[in-house]
Amino acid sequence: DVKVTQSSRYLVKRTGEKVFLECVQDMDHENMFWYRQDPGLGLRLIYFSYDVKMKEKGDIPEGYSVSREKKERFSLILESASTNQTSMYLCASSEATTNEKLFFGSGTQLSVL
Amino acid sequence: GENVEQHPSTLSVQEGDSAVIKCTYSDSASNYFPWYKQELGKGPQLIIDIRSNVGEKKDQRIAVTLNKTAKHFSLHITETQPEDSAVYFCAASRAYAGKSTFGDGTTLTVKP
């Protein structure tokens, strides 16, 4: 069964901490995405990557960075966590050829206190 | 950029009734329109999609219709069951060319 795995289901961090959210996919997909999900706001794109070591800003990149050192792994980094970054974070991947269907992980609920 | 509006934000129906969720998009170049279902504690999962060269697509109890001229598309669920209760998201994108833009989601509740 194909999978997108996010390393943590729940995470609690302190304001100012550096936070790493990890995502691994086993489908050999070129494209990987990080979304943020907040009630009533849908899914908002933070960053995406079409290839190893490549990254592009999405709609809300401020306060975040990403790393893609290997094809299967895409990390989201909060350099200095703030309370307004408390949210559900969803990782997704898709094939490069069509860039259509997204496969999502189960999400990481991050609380910044 | 693309903007997707989704209505209603919440929908409650009796088991066996039909449910309809509507979305509008702004970018006439968008040509791929998926629908995702998110159950509690899980990530969204694709349930049906439609491309701009097709007006309607059906898969058992779910169907999607697309009106390119009006720039809107809809999800229809017939004979709803309690397990259809979930959050549904529509999205729009240019296939082969980039990111998806999502609607704000519809929370569907099917009452037994």
- Selecting from B42, B97, B101 the residue whose C-beta is nearest the C-beta of A99 gives B97
A2 has pLDDT over 80: no
B34 touches chain A (CB under 8 A): yes
Contact between chains at A41 and B104 (C-beta distance less than 8 A): yes
Task: Specify the pLDDT at position B98.
Answer: 66
Per CB-CB distance under 8 Å, the chain B contacts of A4 are 43
A1 has pLDDT over 70: no
A64 has pLDDT over 90: yes
Per CB-CB distance under 8 Å, the chain A contacts of B48 are none
Per CB-CB distance under 8 Å, the chain A contacts of B46 are 101-102
Per CB-CB distance under 8 Å, the chain B contacts of A92 are 43
Contact between chains at B102 and A43 (C-beta distance less than 8 A): yes
In chain A, which residues touch B (CB < 8 A)? 4, 33, 35, 40-45, 48, 58-59, 90, 92, 97-102, 104-107
- Selecting from B44, B98, B103 the residue whose C-beta is nearest the C-beta of A104 gives B44
Could you write out the DSSP letters of every residue in chain B? ---EEEE-SEEEEETTS-EEEEEEE--TT--EEEEEEE-TTS--EEEEEEETT-SEEEETTEEEEEETTTTEEEEEE-S--GGG-EEEEEEEB-TTS---EE---EEEEEE-
Task: Specify the pLDDT at position B52.
Answer: 86
**How does pLDDT run across B35-85, given as a tens digit for each residue?**
999 999 899 999 999 998 889 999 999 999 999 999 999 999 999 999 999
Task: Specify the pLDDT at position A43.
Answer: 93
B43 touches chain A (CB under 8 A): yes
Task: Specify the pLDDT at position B18.
Answer: 97
Residues B104, A3, B23, CA angle at the centre, nearest 5°?
Answer: 20
Task: Specify the pLDDT at position B72.
Answer: 95
B109 has pLDDT over 90: yes
